[in-house]
């Protein structure tokens, strides 16, 4: 199927079935399931497939598309590819969209592009992101990671500047620990730009946010959008029988085959059986499980196809769990050694 530019008209029923949640104590609603453009929107994926996924997502009420400066591969290509599709398909719907991007990891050569939280890097990166995406502003701009070598006041000050310049509507952070998040909240509050949202990794096999971060977010009225809710694909049926060709693990895309231990697979298979008993796919149950907590605003999914997208959105059909189900899940929802971002949240 060839998708032609400029022939897209969004479905008139796009808001009929999606669930929206308020982001902390702000005035912003996000879809319970948002679309992340991490690994499936680089130059190694046909543009027509990317376009089909974005169109279908919006047609089903997914109003939030999440990017970062280094998404690809190569770096920057996800934003550039999105910009191409946005100009042709979504520009007319800009006021119905929440677009986000981030700065924090290495991006361009030399001392000013190696990532972190310096004012120079953060604000320069935002300007580059806006140019690649072809937009005047993003709705949410994140500090992608905590930088222990830069004063937190400088990093939060850069986010405040981005908002005051009109290049972002809201400020966010990602992979910050509970205590550092509380500090960030206080700094931004004093500057007059409240922290809107935190984006941590969170899944059945990676529950670090339950230690103290969710408590901080709830107390401070900050939203939470969980990324990698399917544990880089481990919480799907994909790896129950081995490593299929073309999967993330086979390509070493954020999921090493070393993580597919027999212990992890034993827990995953048990969770899969439970999902089947609930009439859900494992992925659907994994997403619904995260959304069980009202402090979670949204779960951020990746989708390599329209079918995968639709399966994930099916999680919204059954968000209820009995206490017995939650107790059984707790026996298998255990640390799987998959938190690739723990260095940022260790401070």
- pLDDT tens profile 143-166: 999 999 999 999 999 999 999 999
Backbone angles phi, psi at 168, to 5 degrees: -150, 145
DSSP for 139-208 reads EEEEE-S--TTS-HHHHHHHHHHHHHTTSEEEEEEES--HHHHHHHHHHHHHHT--EEEEE-B-BTTB-G
Distances (CA, A) of 343 to 116, 175, 289, 317: 13, 9, 25, 35
Q: Are 130 and 138 in contact (CB under 8 A)?
A: yes
Please give the pLDDT value at position 245.
Answer: 58
User: Would you say 50 and 324 are in contact if contact means Cβ atoms under 8 Å apart?
Assistant: no
Of 112, 105, 111, 50, residue with least CA distance to 77? 50
Residue in 96, 29, 107, 98 with CA at minimum distance from that of residue 68: 107
pLDDT at 325: 97
Q: Which residue numbers in the chain have pLDDT < 50?
A: 1, 248-251
34/19 Cα distance (integer angstroms): 11
Q: Cα dist. 253→38, 221, 256 in Å?
A: 10, 34, 8
By DSSP bridging, strand 29-31 and strand 20-22 are antiparallel
pLDDT for 191-247, tens place per residue?
Answer: 999 999 999 999 999 999 999 999 999 999 999 999 999 998 899 987 786 555 555
Number of H helices, E strands in the chain: 12, 10
What CA–CA distance (Å, rounded) separates 105 from 115?
Answer: 4
- Cβ-in-10-Å burial (0-12, 13-18, 19+) of 159 comes to buried
Report the pLDDT value the prediction gives residue 249, as an integer from 0 to 100. 47
Q: How far apart (Å, rounded) are the C-alpha atoms in residues 21 and 324?
A: 26
Cα–Cα distance, 169 to 153 (Å, whole number): 19
């Amino acid at each position: 199927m060839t998708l032609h530019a400029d022939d897209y008209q969004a479905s008139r029923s796009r808001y009929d079935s999606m669930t929206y949640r308020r982001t902390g104590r702000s005035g912003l609603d996000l879809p319970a399931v948002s679309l992340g453009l991490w690994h499936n929107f680089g130059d190694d994926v046909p543009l027509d497939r990317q376009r089909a996924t974005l169109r279908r997502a919006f047609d089903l009420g997914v109003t939030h598309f999440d990017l970062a400066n280094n998404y690809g591969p190569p770096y920057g290509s996800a934003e550039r590819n999105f910009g191409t599709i946005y100009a042709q398909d979504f520009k007319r719907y800009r006021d119905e969209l929440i677009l986000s991007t981030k700065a924090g990891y290495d991006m361009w050569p030399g001392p000013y592009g190696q990532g972190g939280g310096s004012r120079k890097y953060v604000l320069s990166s935002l300007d580059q992101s806006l140019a690649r995406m072809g937009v005047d502003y993003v709705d949410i701009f994140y500090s992608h990671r905590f930088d222990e070598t830069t004063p937190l006041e400088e990093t939060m000050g850069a986010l405040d500047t981005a908002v005051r310049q009109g290049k972002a509507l809201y400020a966010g952070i990602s992979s910050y620990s509970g205590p550092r998040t509380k500090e960030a909240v206080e700094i931004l509050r004093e500057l007059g730009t409240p922290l809107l949202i935190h984006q941590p990794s969170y899944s059945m096999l990676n529950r670090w946010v339950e230690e103290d971060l969710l408590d901080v977010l709830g107390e401070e009225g900050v939203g939470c959008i969980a990324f990698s809710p399917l544990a880089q694909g481990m919480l799907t049926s994909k790896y129950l029988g081995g490593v299929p060709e073309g999967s993330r693990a086979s390509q070493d895309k954020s999921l090493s085959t070393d993580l597919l231990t027999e212990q992890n697979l034993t827990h995953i298979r048990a969770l899969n059986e439970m999902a089947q008993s609930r009439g859900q796919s494992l992925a659907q149950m994994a997403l619904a499980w995260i959304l069980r907590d009202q402090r979670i605003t949204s779960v951020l999914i990746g989708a390599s196809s329209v079918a995968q997208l639709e399966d994930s959105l099916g999680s919204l059909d059954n968000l209820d769990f009995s206490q017995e189900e939650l107790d059984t899940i707790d026996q298998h929802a255990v640390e799987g050694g998959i938190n690739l971002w723990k260095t940022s949240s260790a401070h």
